[in-house]
């Protein structure tokens, strides 16, 4: 039983090799290459519009530093966001708040 299944497997493998070799030769010879142009869409093209509020969002600048955030008109919003983020970090035990050892410099961030 095992021997006959190996023979049938080998026979199928040989057939696949022959088919692949034949297909490779046909492609190499260029027998099946077509010179058809790709189909083009017949739908009418419309200019993209993003709406009147899109420019408003583009012009809005977010502060890059904590000093900019706390001196802006939205300072209460930024204070709340900062406190919320710190509270989340502490609850998830992401960081551990420690005192900076003497003589060490704190790492900056971008």
Give per-residue pLDDT as tens, 82-107: 999 989 998 999 988 889 999 999 88
Q: How far apart are CA 59 and CA 77, in angstroms?
A: 19
Give per-residue pLDDT as tens, 12-29: 777 777 666 665 555 555
Cβ density class 44-57: b for 16+ within 10 Å, e for less = eeeeeeeeeeeeee
- Is the per-residue pLDDT at 49 higher than 90? no
Q: Could you give the residue ranges of the DSSP H alpha helices within 30-53?
A: none
What does DSSP assign to residue 30? T
For the chain, state the CA radius of gyration: 34
Q: How far apart are CA 62 and CA 49, in angstroms?
A: 24
């Amino acid at each position: 039983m095992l021997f006959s299944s190996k023979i049938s497997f080998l026979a199928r493998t040989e057939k696949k090799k022959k088919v692949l070799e034949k297909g490779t030769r046909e492609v190499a010879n260029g027998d099946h290459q077509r010179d058809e142009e790709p189909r083009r869409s017949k739908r009418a093209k419309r200019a993209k519009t993003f709406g009147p509020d899109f420019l408003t969002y583009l012009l809005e600048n977010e502060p890059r530093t904590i000093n900019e955030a706390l001196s802006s008109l939205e300072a209460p919003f930024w204070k709340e966001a900062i406190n919320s983020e710190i509270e989340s970090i502490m609850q998830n035990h992401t960081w551990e708040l420690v005192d900076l050892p003497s003589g060490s410099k704190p790492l900056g961030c971008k």
